[in-house]
Structure 1
Amino acid sequence: MRRRHLLGMAAAATAAAALPLSPARAAETSPKVLVIGVDGFVADRVRDANAPTLAKLQDTALDARSLLYTQPMAPTSSGPGWSTILTGVWPDKHKVVDNSFGGNDLKSYPDWLSTAKAARPEIQTWAAADWKPIGDHLFGDGIDATIVLDGDKDGYVEHDATIADETEAHLAKDAADATFVYFGQLDIVGHADGSGSQNYLDEIAVVDGFVSRLLAAVESRPTRAEENWLIMLTTDHGHLDSGGHGGDSLIERGTFILATGDGISAAKPVTTRLVDVAASALIHLGATPSDTMDGRAVTHEDSDPFQTVKLQPAVTEDIDAEILGWSPELPQGWSRDNAKLPEGGVTEWAGWSLVSDAFWSSAQRGQNRETFVRGRGTFAVADSDEWADTDAASGKTFDSTLWTPPVAANAKVTVRLTHLYRQEGEQRGEILASWDDGEPQVVRTLSTDVNGPDAIDVDRPSDAREVRIGFRLTGVNNWYWAVDDVRVA
């Protein structure tokens, strides 16, 4: 039965039995997870604030920056953001598309603490938040103890301080196997004064103090030597310099996961996404994430060959030169067939190119490119719309094919990928198979929108030894096709 943790009452908890130390620390110590959520936190502002703890974490922890979706998937607002953090799935699954939480499917995608409790009933789960809708809609029955305050009604300054006090005490004396804590005042300051204001920096300093205290509470635990901690700091969205969020600018879409703990080394991965908070927590606790979850461990080592290509700034596109997010180069063994592509289009989109989310979405905001949230780091894009943005390409047909390296063929070949395909008019996307470098055969034609993982089974001709898979896009100033994590086996 769920029980509320009332202020002034200690949470009932029994410390986990101490386990003996050994060289295999992570395997033989008790796993613990702490997730600290700060609403509306722009990570780039830390260096300008008096925030020594956060600045040190950005230097010594795993600092993973990423971008959110925008409309039509969901705006960059708190309801979708915290639902994504706590459930580990994107808004097209949990269906939280605004702060009303109306029409959601959270029953199908519970919070990660409740999921962990279901998998391991013996652990203690604990959560605190002062944005009341989190408690009302996202804290599930699997959380042993909760603190839910109403910052909108009573103010966040005192409630944030109360939550810091309660969480510090909880971490010092309870089992604290799985803990989530939320602070809301930074978002209030962001709305009132903007993320470019001194008041915003001053509030980051307050958050820094909270984080410092919680980290110290973990380190002061009598059983700390017998524990294996994963601590993650994250946020639901960014804030404009002038204040506000919900739109599709890079600063509003900005999120991060700052991870520290036993066995976590300093790193700045580019393939992490916000859904990885929940998956990382579950994996660390020994509770296998379901196949329906979109996330993976923050420490996952990506083997996608697209990540091996060094990206560069724009050549002709009017995109911030600080965004190193495009390359005409392809990984070893991959190739591009532009034999049927006319001259005269935009250089960056002359056939299939490798890009980052920040670069591609900056080419033209508000055209659904931002919804390719399942793409990670560097991915391949064919964009007939952006290619045609010159007079010389007007009315001409975009036609380009991306080819994988040859792969030894079994009786049945399976092509797995994650892709975003946006359909318009006579545009067509084709997945091709070329056996032993023979004439390409169409194995699937795309003529409707696609956004997510996919798998295509291809029968091998009896005498074929190897296969190459191609992705061909044709269209006249239509839309685009983004492809990531292609695996042929």
Structure 2
Amino acid sequence: MRRRSYLSALAAGIPLSSLGSTGLSTAETQDTGSYLFEETFDELASALKPASDEYIDDSVRGWTHTPPEGWSVELAADMPQGTTEWQGWSFTTDAFWTAAAGQGRSEFTRADSVFAVADPDEWDDTDSPASEGTFDSTLVSKSIDLPDEASVYLGFASHYRQEDGQTADVVVSFDTGDEQTVLHYDGAADSDNGGDDVRNAYPVVEVSVPDGAQTMVVEWRLSNARNDWYWAIDVVRVASEPFDGGPKPGPDPIQLPDSPDGTSDEKVLVLGLDGVRWDKLRQANTPVFDRIREDGIGGPSQLYGPPLADSSSGPGWSTIATGVWPDKHGVTDNSFEGKQYDTYPDFLTLMERENPDLSTFAIMDWDPLSEQGTFSDAIDVKAPVESSLSWWDSGERIVATARDRLRNQNPDALFVYWVLVDMVGHTKSVGSDDYIEAIEQSDAWLGTLLDAIEARETRSEEDWLVVVTTDHGFEGFGHGGNTIQERTSFVYAIGDSISGQTPERQPEAVDIAHTALDHVGVTPAPGWDLDGIVLGTPSNDPFDDLKNQLKPAETVDIDSSVLGWTRTPPTGWSVGFASQMAERGTTEYRGWSFVSDEFWARRNLDGRQNFVRARDVVAVADPEKWNSGGNPIDDGFEFQTTLESSAFDVSGRETVSVEFRSHYRGTGGQIAQVFVSFDGGSQTERLRYDGSDDDTSSRTESLDVSVPAEASTMTVAWRLTASSADGFWAIDSPTIDAPQSSSE
């Protein structure tokens, strides 16, 4: 059995779906004041404990024999000992019960958090007690006060499976000594169940009250059972007037073709929540997402903006689906003009191409994702949800369908998306209570789907990865622009093989496709030209060693909570600048500086936000921002700065390759140069940009360098000279394909 670490709140014994303020209703919600009595068993959550005989991870607290106050559980004197957890009526959770066994148990969707179960089928799985006797146990309610009425009505959520010989009875007794059997189930056609299963129902029966009766007690007895199925109940109610149990919780799943039976024990679910603004997510009550953050890996990150692409859904989901940035996939706004999905298909399509035996599934309620081919028809089952539904209703149908698919079928890779939060933002604004409510509803839906994974019959043999993300942020009633609120996204992953941690590298939207592919055993080919990495991949970028040295702004107008800059270079590297720059200009940009994307591209963007191939800490030479502190260039002081690498060992090499990510915006008075030198000798220019270079933004530069005979070390230098107060140069991830000298 693979031990689990992660996916739900099971360590506390509570299904994740019950932690949110709203969600797919798991029990009808009438005014509790209209009932004479109500019991949901949820107060037993703190009494739940780990498995005893069942093979369920001991971190999962999901059962108890302790009934609510005033209630009792009775066992027949001759009932043999079986599986401890199911020795008579027990109180459990959906995730625990369905982890013990499947066989239709997951269909009890009327049950809320904790419910009561009599399960002779599981009881008989330890030492076969049914070979010695039968299962016979009675659940007895507390005493219920009665009104001065001729009758009352008893209702309860019920999930019952019949087997030959098994008998179930609901008996009501009164303080007058009278007794009534109000329901009787057995294998006979004339019984109340017609001799068949009664699954996920809410029976309501009229109970005649004898003259003078002031209290009653209800008993649920399951008897004469051997290895014979089960009976579960929840949400017990008594009322003076007739009532019904309401509709089954949530909508029925959308009728779709069955998924092909999956072939992989490694499975992935990508959950797409459209238009969730990061700071509003943090403000909302999101217990499920909070657990994902604590137990998983990931974080917020900044996206592109115009002119590269709008911070909108078309570019956002295209980036997530394909694993490449907009300059490759071609979608720059919601028109989808220029899309390059044939060259850069979605990750589910890539899975199908590489391993057709994988079972893929996608469901979504924003039509363009299907119609435009963001997720292609190569996916085994693709389900666009009709847009005539309200966004709340379509979200519920999506979750119901995905839940059913996860619990009752065997897909390997899924993309599940709902547009609710985005649409509420457009109609009510990001500052509305409705926007927060939509986030909280989404959080409850996340819990429903994580619970569905936990309830799979084959869960213990599987390695699940769940990724949660959004496509863009929000500002006011919309998005698409360059504000930090619109451009901030997030990526979080949680799974069996992931422990809670702060990733070494900032997660990006393009990482999702690569991570999903890797998890199901598909290795991206170099020709796919993906931009992302597998989440959790360590950094080999020397600039990222400076993360812990980043500090708040000193002179620029950026909130002090943003730790985003330092002029201290990596060990062995150096930064020089012209003497005339000393004590002049903006402190943070006096020569090459090392900054985070959030810090550098928070103000005065001018394309800075579109260095999409940078990650974490970036080296920046920015004469425009330097000049904003007192206009030194206008006073005739030139900007000139050089960043020089540590020495790399090149002994015995004929050539080496220097590679780095570059983002350059030039002007007529600006020159950018790359030099190499050997053994401390003179520098030789290997690359030059000037104001005439237009196509030098967010690209990877690779320079093949010949190594002189007898040379032992090489250094690389990046120099920017500017006599005009415009432009910038940023570099990231410098690598040389020779090992760095151990003496440096």
CA contact (8 A) 2:259 2:361 kept: no
Alignment of 1:335-414 (within 5 A): 335-339=574-578, 342-343=581-582, 344-365=584-605, 367-389=606-628, 390-394=630-634, 395-409=636-650, 410-414=653-657
> Aligned in 2, Cα 1:275/1:282: closer, same or farther, shift over 3 Å?
same
Partner residue in 2 for 1:296: 533
Q: Distance in 2 between matches of 1:238 and 1:264?
A: 26
Q: How does 1:234-249 map to 2 (within 5 A)?
A: 234-240=469-475, 242-249=476-483
CA contact (8 A) 1:341 1:400 kept: no
**Quick check: 2:656–2:704 contact (8 Å CA) kept in 1?**
yes
Contact 1:65 1:255 in 2 (8 A): yes
Q: Is the 1:40–1:235 contact (alpha carbons within 8 Å) kept by the matching residues of 2? A: yes
Letter in structure 1 aligned against 2:718: F
Which of 356, 359, 376 is matched with 1:140 structurally?
376
Structure 1 residue 208 displacement after superposition: 1.1
Stretches of structure 1 that go unaligned for 5 or more consecutive residues are 1-5, 17-28
1:487 aligns with 2:735: yes
Partner deviation per Cα, 1:422-466 (whole Å, 9 max, x = no partner): 121131111101111111110111231412212101111213211
Once the two structures are superposed, residues 331-388 of structure 1 have per-residue CA deviations (whole angstroms, 9 ceiling, x without a partner) of 10110121455331211111100000111112412x0000001100001000111111
List per-residue Cα deviations over 1:101-128 (Å, max 9, x = no partner): 1121111100100001111111100000
Q: Which residue of 1 aligns with 2:445?
A: 210
Match of residue 564 from structure 2: 325
Matched, 1:433 2:679: no
Match of 2:332 in 1: 97
Pairing 1:122–2:122 present: no
1:140–1:375 distance in 2 versus 1, CA, 3 Å? same
**Residue type of the partner of 1:112?**
F
Q: How far apart, in 2, do the equivalents of 1:243 and 1:62 lie? A: 31
Q: Distance in 1 between matches of 2:409 and 2:525?
A: 28
In the TM superposition, 1:27-46 aligns within 5 A as 30-46=265-281
Aligned to 2:231: none
Q: 1: CA distance between counterparts of 2:593 and 2:520?
A: 39
User: Aligned partners of 1:48 and 1:465: how far apart in 2?
Assistant: 56
Equivalent in 385, 390, 396 of residue 149 of structure 1: 385
> What is the distance in 2 between the residues matched to 1:265 and 1:305?
25
- Partner amino acid, structure 2, of 1:326: W
Q: Match of 2:702?
A: 455
CA distance in 2, matches of 1:356, 1:306: 10
CA contact (8 A) 1:115 1:142 kept: no
Return 5+ residue gaps in structure 2 as ranges: 1-252, 738-744
Q: CA deviation at 1:10?
A: 4.5
When structure 1 is superposed on structure 2, of 194-203 and 343-352 the one drifting more is: 194-203
CA contact (8 A) 2:392 2:420 kept: yes
Asked if 1:305 is matched to 2:560, the reply is no
CA distance in 2, matches of 1:53, 1:129: 21
Change (3 A) 1:14 1:95: same
Of 248, 253, 258 in structure 2, the residue corresponding to residue 11 of structure 1 is 258
CA-to-partner distance for each residue in 1:146-203, whole Å, 9 max, x for gaps?
A: 110243x543111111110000011112221010011101001112233332211111
Q: Distance in 2 between matches of 1:359 and 1:306?
A: 15
1:464 pairs with 711, 725, 730, which one?
Answer: 711
CA distance in 2 between partners of 1:15 and 1:75 (Å): 37
Counterpart for residue 689 of structure 2:
446
2:264 pairs with 1:264: no
Matched, 1:223 2:458: yes
Q: Indicate the structure (1 or 2) with the bigger Cα radius of gyration.
A: 2
Cα deviation code 1:75-126 (max 9, x no counterpart) = 1000000000000110001110111111211111001000011111111000
Match of 1:253 in 2: 487
By percentage of residues, which structure has more helix? 1
Give 1:298 shift: 0.9
Q: Residue in 2 aligned with 1:176? A: 411
CA distance in 2, matches of 1:442, 1:193: 57
Q: Distance in 2 between matches of 1:49 and 1:441?
A: 56
Partner of 1:106: 341
Determine the structure 2 residue equivalent to 1:22.
none
Give 3-state SS (helix, strand or coil) of 2:619's partner: strand
CA contact (8 A) 2:407 2:455 kept: yes
Q: Contact 2:294/2:500 (CA < 8 Å) preserved in 1?
A: yes
Number of residue pairs matched by the alignment = 469
Code of the residue aligned with 1:92 in structure 2: it is D
Aligned CA distance change for structure 1 residues 113 and 263 (closer, same or farther; 3 Å):
same
Secondary structure of the structure 2 residue equivalent to 1:392: coil
SS of 1:140 mapped into structure 2 = coil
Q: CA deviation at 1:391?
A: 2.9
Counterpart Cα distance in 2 of 1:9 and 1:60: 33
Aligned Cα RMSD in Å?
1.6
Task: Tell me the CA shift for residue 418 of structure 1.
Answer: 0.9
Q: Which has the higher contact order (CA 8 A, sep 6+)?
A: 1
* Contact 1:41–1:187 (CA under 8 A) maintained in structure 2: yes
Q: Which segments of structure 1 move beyond 6 Å, counting only runs of 4 or more?
A: none
